[in-house]
Structure 1
Amino acid sequence: MPEQVYRGAVLAGDDFEPVRAAVIVEDGVITAIEEDSSAPDLWICPAFFNAHTHLGDTVAMDFATCGDLEALVTPPHGLKHRILGSTPRPRLIEGMRASIRGMQATGTAGFADFREGGADGVTALREAVQGEPILPLIFGREGGETIADGIGISSARDIPDTEEQVRRARAAGRLVAFHAGEKDLDDIDAALCYDPDLLVHCTHATRGQLRAIADAGVPVAVCIRSNWTLGVTCDAGRPPVREMAACGCTWYIGTDNVMFVQPDMLREMSFCETVTRMPPEEILRAAVGGAALAGRSFPIKKGNRANFIIIDPDRAGLGFSPDPIASMVKRVGERSILQTVIN
């Protein structure tokens, strides 16, 4: 493949330092970032990694916009599970593929999905993603974990044989992820006992629990729009993102159930900033950093694979912004994206 050159204001490195530069890419790998004062007024930002999705829920989109957590999403009899169980496989695949393409259109280059439906559910997602330039990390359930990248457990209190399931996953060299602390704090300590690779939500985690999570080095995927939509919080301090950062936790951003929330990381970042008032660079880092779950690195730096989006700020009147990072987090929408580069 010939050398490719992308020019603009590059949010470069782990700190997203804006620099007018040319990004040189060969065979999908960034080989150089060269300062270029004549680069056009475009923004080049790392692509996003959606750290928690349920893409199968696309077929249940907006079936319900209110109701308690148990009635809507708790296995095995929640509304979404009944819809998934009655949906023909071709339609399920079609729905997941539509959401995958929607994610790409809004700058996402990878995602971590909790996939219901056992082994057939995992193979359906693999079929949906086939041929699409996006990196999937799949956490299976109900036997699907045996052919997935890991096991995704709804809650330590929901599964009677959690210990055996985790033991088998570890023996096979697979990842272990838990929903924890979504509706209350009671299942967080139990999840931590299994030394997971990822916790999802921790909406109601205490400071002591956050310190334990940080000490264990377990990252947390927060899903703020989903938490608000499902009514498990109406508090700017829940999920406790600021406390997570203060305690030294690694936190990532996910969008959770497509049943309620579009898997659009641009919207998720904007809502996160509005609710938490976290510094924009920290929110952008959380939207990019989840790639580490899949053993990848998305920041724009020499030696990394080229995964970034090119923004035309003038398409949405953002050319007046002196702070591309803040405007990326708070204002950029799909209309402003000229190109998504995924390798």
Structure 2
Amino acid sequence: MQEVSPYIVTGRALLGEDLREEDVTITVSEGIVTSIEPVSRIPERWIVPAFFNAHTHLGDTVAMDLPARGSLADLVKPPNGLKHRILAKTPRAELVRGMRSSISAMIATGTTGFADFREGGADGVAALREAASGLDCRPVILGREGGEEVSDGAGISSVHDVANAEEIVRNARAGGKLVAFHAAERRPGDLDDALAFEPDLLVHCTHATDAQLRRIVDMGIPIVVCPRSNWLLGVAASSAHPPVARILELGGTLHLGTDNVMFVQPDMLREMAFAATVYRAPPDEILRAAISGAGIVGASGYLEEGQKANFLVINPLEKNISFSRDVRATIVKRLDSSSICQTVLTLQ
């Protein structure tokens, strides 16, 4: 992480929400991008907005790649799914160590913020805060099982899995906190009930109907898709699920997340490459989805004057990516962590 003030870097940057390529010099003072000035010489660096992982379950790190069989409900449904039984038996110190290691892995692959559905009540929230302490990655913690009251909001499983969803939402709203739901991961039946609560965020929508998608877009609710997890868990088997192309066609707000570390590495570079390959969405749309999750906490996430500094400096010269004819496409399809030479970040 770079926090020297003022900090000046020159490179080919992806600027603004449209991620337009420009050769510029960027100045950062006290954590704010104070100027972006054009340059005429060919730069030797790429400057790219950092990524925001809009959906994680970092506690699952302690069950990484555990040989597991069964339905999605058998594996992850609260309160007695396999992951919940493992979490309940894991010593706190080991849980913290696991989550901290996954946060470090995210930082190494260009992620500087994430939104986590945190099991374990208030103690679970405290454990994640401890795991993230001192690391250059901002957590947004959406608590469960009583953790809603001491976190940034409520991370609710399917509305059909939680008996007191109305109470949870009411309390979260009273405290000015976020409300997020898993919905339509396996089938669309729980999505309308989730929409009745007017959530701030929906996760998955893998099997949302077209009418439901239209309603979500009309309500202005962002959708977080987690393609690799959906495929691995058997709830997706084609580019129609999750309906990435349709969400974009309708003008919806699309975020990208990696979901359970039990099954999928929390690596947004891999998530982008998979999404671009399977769903064939334009690279700029996939890249925006990997950045725009910062909006969950009211941040821009994009490289603009007056915004908080939150970007990556990439050295393309030591890899074949120096031959790129489209920086956005190359970032999405080919970038690996070895080319990220610096992270410039303002946490608060």
Report deviation, 1:65: 5.4
Q: Does 1:339 align with 2:342?
A: yes
CA contact (8 A) 2:5 2:31 kept: no
- Report the counterpart of residue 125 of structure 1 in structure 2: 128
**Residue in 2 aligned with 1:277?**
280
Classify the secondary structure of the residue corresponding to 2:317.
helix
Q: Secondary structure at the match of 1:283?
A: helix
Equivalent position SS for 1:313: coil
Unaligned runs of 5+ in 2: none
Q: Contact 2:181/2:199 (CA < 8 Å) preserved in 1?
A: yes
Quote how far apart the aligned CAs of 1:36 are: 1.4
Matches within 5 A, 1:158-169: 158-169=161-172
Determine the structure 1 residue equivalent to 2:221: 218
Deviations along 1:199-249, one digit per CA (max 9) or x if unpaired, are 000000011000000011110000000000100011111000111111221
Report the counterpart of residue 27 of structure 1 in structure 2.
30
* Pair 66,330 (structure 1): closer, same or farther in 2 beyond 3 Å: farther
Secondary structure (helix, strand or coil) at the match of 1:77 reads: coil
Describe the SS at the equivalent of 2:52. strand
* Cα offsets for 1:95-132 (capped at 9, x unmatched): 11101111111111100000000000000000111111
Q: Which residue does 1:329 correspond to in 2?
A: 332
Take 1:60 and 1:339, find their aligned partners in 2: how far apart are those partners?
31
Task: Report 1:102-117 matches (<5 A).
Answer: 102-117=105-120
CA contact (8 A) 1:180 1:187 kept: yes
Task: Return closer, same or farther for 1:49/1:105 CA change in 2, 3 Å cut-off.
Answer: same
Query: Offset of 1:340 from its aligned partner?
Result: 1.5
- The answer to whether the 8 A contact 2:153-2:178 is kept is yes
Q: Aligned-pair distance for 1:312? A: 1.4
Q: Aligned residue for 1:239?
A: 242
Q: Which one-letter code corresponds to 2:24 in the other structure?
A: A
Match of 1:256 in 2: 259
Q: Does 1:77 align with 2:80?
A: yes
In the alignment, which residue of structure 2 is the partner of 1:64? 67
Give CA deviations for 1:252-302 in whole Å, capped at 9, x if unaligned: 000000000011000000000001100000111110000000111111110
- Cα separation, 2, equivalents of 1:107 and 1:4: 19
**Equivalent pair of 1:66/1:229 in contact (CA under 8 Å):** no
Range with greater deviation from structure 2 (322-331 or 34-43):
34-43
Q: Which residue of 2 aligns with 1:151?
A: 154
Q: 1-10 or 193-202: which moved more? A: 1-10
| 1:40 lines up with 2:64 in the alignment | no
Partners in 2 of 1:64 and 1:115 — Cα distance?
A: 23
What is the total number of aligned residue pairs between the two structures? 343
For the 8 Å contact 1:44–1:311, the answer to whether it is kept is yes
Compared CA separation, residues 65 and 325, structure 1 to 2 (3 A): farther
Residue 332 of structure 1 deviates from its aligned partner by 0.3
Q: CA deviation at 1:172?
A: 1.2
* 3-state SS in 2 of match to 1:199: strand
The alignment status of 1:204 with 2:207, answered yes or no, reads yes
Aligned to 1:10: 13
Distance, in Å, in 1 between the alignment partners of 2:340 and 2:129 is 27
Question: In the aligned structure 2, how far is the partner of 1:95 from the partner of 1:39?
Answer: 42
Q: After TM superposition, which residue ranges in structure 1, 4 or more long, deviate above 4 angstroms?
A: none
Matching of residue 142 in structure 1 with residue 116 in structure 2: no
The SS at the match of 2:140 is strand
Instruction: State the one-letter code of the partner of 1:139.
Output: L
What is aligned with 1:50? 53
The 1:83–1:323 alpha-carbon spacing in structure 2 relative to 1, beyond 3 Å, is same
State the alpha-carbon separation in 1 of the partners of residues 258 and 204 from structure 2.
11
Q: What are the superposed Cα offsets for residues 69-94 of structure 1, whole Å, 9 maximum, x if unpaired?
A: 01111111111111100000011001
Give the letter aligned to residue 32 of structure 2.
Answer: V
Distance in 1 (CA, whole Å) between partners of 2:317 and 2:231 is: 32
Q: Counterpart in 2 of 1:305?
A: 308
Residue ranges of structure 1 left out of the alignment (5+ in a row): none
Could you say which residue in structure 1 is the equivalent of 2:181? Answer: 178
Partners of 1:154 and 1:243 in 2: how far apart? 24
Offset at residue 37 of structure 1 (A): 2.0
Q: CA deviation at 1:173?
A: 1.1
